Structure formats: structure tokens, C-alpha cells
Amino acid sequence: MKIFLDANILISVLNKEYPLFTYNSRVLSLADNTKFKVYTSPLCLAIAFYFAEKKHGTTQARQKINLLIEKLGFTSISEQTVLEVGNNKKIHDFEDGLQYYSAIGSDCKYIITENLKDFYFSEIEVLTSRQFLEKYVFK
């Protein structure tokens, strides 16, 4: 099962932001489960690094990002991805559109985010980490 993690999931784990950390870290740990392929985009990784660096400093943020690099798969943001976002009039937030089309391009079936409203235009299922765990992991 291929899932895509939005930047806010990564940020809450890297910065141990409660109460979301509990669910988000559990979803992130699915990268160690062979039933799941967990992806994010390079842009999400950059956003997560920015917030981790603000809280923990460059050295610790880089260590945390390197752990993610070892565990996660990465989508790509190509010229085609950019064009698809630009051509989709439903998308108002360009960054969310890039995440969406990069997830689609890697054949992800679910987007995991804490901001469901950001993906109002999605044609694939969008869930919070808690919703995803309850529906597909703890069932």
C-alpha cells in the first residue's frame, strides 16, 4: 500500500508536537512495515527541515532529516507535475498541488495530512494520520 505523507506529518514528528506526534510517528513507522511503502516529496522534506532547524539547530535537523532519507521513498516534482498543477483550476494553493500530483505520479493511493481541507480537490483518499491508522492499520 503506497501512502504519501504531507509536510505537516513530518514536522510534527521531527519537532515532537503533541498531541499529533503520537499518531504521526506511528504512521511514519509504517516505513518499516513491508505492507506499506511510505513516500513524501523533496519539497515536504525541505519544509520539514526548515521547521526542524528553527527548533533544533542545523546539526540536529540534518541528523533527523537523514533518518527520514533512509526510511522513506521520494516522489518527484517534474515539469509535468508543475504543468498539471498550473492547468488544474480547482487548485488554489500551488504547493499543495505539487504534493498532490507528485503523490499521484508515484501511484500513491492515500495522502496523509493533518490539514484535510488543503486537498479538497483530491481524487484519491485524504486522511489524517489517526483516521488512516484506525481505518487501515488497527482494523
94-125 pLDDT tens trace: 999 999 999 999 999 999 999 999 999 999 99
pTM of the entire predicted model = 0.96
Task: Tell me the CA end-to-end span of the chain in Å, nearest whole number.
Answer: 15
Residues in the chain: 139
Mean pLDDT of the chain: 97
Q: Is the pLDDT of residue 139 over 90?
A: no
Domains of the chain: 2-137 (3.40.50.1010)
Note the helical H segments in the chain. Answer: 7-14, 20-28, 42-56, 58-71, 79-87, 94-105, 129-132
* pLDDT reported for residue 128: 98
